[in-house]
């Protein structure tokens, strides 16, 4: 008994340690989580460091397949925009455009045609120029860019949102179907303005890839 009292080696009694039976040398669960997090972070940093942009046109075409917004994504964004435009035009027509609609009547478009047309084109031009996105595109996380990934100029926006949309509406929206069949999923208004609609998550890497390809062309 004296030997037990004089023994300096600490005993590991489960009752004195919260009822657990974990050995002193066994790593705790928190330590395992920390180690796993550090390993994951290190692996992610390595991937980011070793990642390289494509060095050929073939690589670019292979990687760029998922860059562009498809037909249904753009369709949902357009429906959202139409709801916004209709709500705003109805509100403005009530307070300010009623008289104008009576004086300048467009029977083909309906009684509220003037306010609707003004709001629609103002909305698309202003939102695309200042934000590269309409509210519908923001919800769907897509945006408009030039084909080369450069900043949209006012001329680009006017060609796309005014000229292109007028032609598309005149052709009963059939040109929108080009989005389904083209490689970069471009509609008629995109071809007119040389623009594309891309997913937000791929915008930055697409711009870097375009810059790399330009450098390759110059070096070649």
pLDDT tens digits, 156-199: 999 999 999 999 989 999 999 999 999 889 999 999 999 999 99
As a whole number of angstroms, the distance between CA 189 and CA 162 comes to 9
Question: Taking 60 as the threshold, does the pLDDT of residue 67 lie above it?
Answer: yes
> Which helix (H) or strand (E) segment is 196 a member of?
strand 195-199
| Res. 5 pLDDT band, cuts 50 70 90 | very low
Local confidence band at 64 (pLDDT 50, 70, 90 cut-offs): confident
Please answer whether residues 124 and 80 qualify as being in contact, where contact means their C-beta atoms are separated by less than 8 angstroms: no
**Distance in Å from the first CA to the final CA of the chain:** 89
Write the DSSP string, 82-121: HHHHHHHHHHHIIIIIHHHHHHS-BTTTBTTHHHHHHHHH
């Amino acid at each position: 008994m004296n030997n037990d009292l004089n023994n300096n080696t600490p005993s590991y009694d489960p009752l004195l340690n919260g009822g657990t039976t974990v050995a002193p040398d066994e790593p705790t669960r928190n330590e395992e989580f920390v180690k796993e997090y550090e390993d994951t972070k290190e692996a992610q940093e390595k991937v980011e460091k070793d990642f390289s942009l494509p060095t050929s046109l073939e690589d670019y075409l292979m990687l760029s397949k998922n860059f562009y917004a498809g037909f249904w994504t753009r369709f949902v964004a357009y429906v959202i925009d139409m709801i916004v435009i209709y709500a705003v035009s109805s509100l403005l027509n009530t307070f300010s455009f009623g008289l104008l609609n009576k004086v300048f009547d467009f029977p083909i478009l309906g009684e509220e045609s003037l306010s609707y047309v003004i709001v629609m084109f103002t909305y698309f031009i202003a939102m695309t120029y200042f934000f590269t996105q309409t509210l519908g595109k923001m919800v769907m996380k897509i945006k408009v860019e030039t084909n080369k990934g450069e900043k949209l100029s006012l001329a680009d926006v006017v060609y796309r949102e005014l000229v292109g949309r007028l032609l598309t509406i005149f052709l009963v929206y059939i040109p929108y179907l080009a989005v389904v069949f083209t490689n970069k999923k471009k509609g008629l208004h995109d071809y007119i303005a040389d623009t594309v609609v891309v997913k937000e998550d791929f915008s930055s890497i697409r711009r870097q890839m375009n810059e790399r390809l330009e450098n390759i062309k110059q070096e070649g």
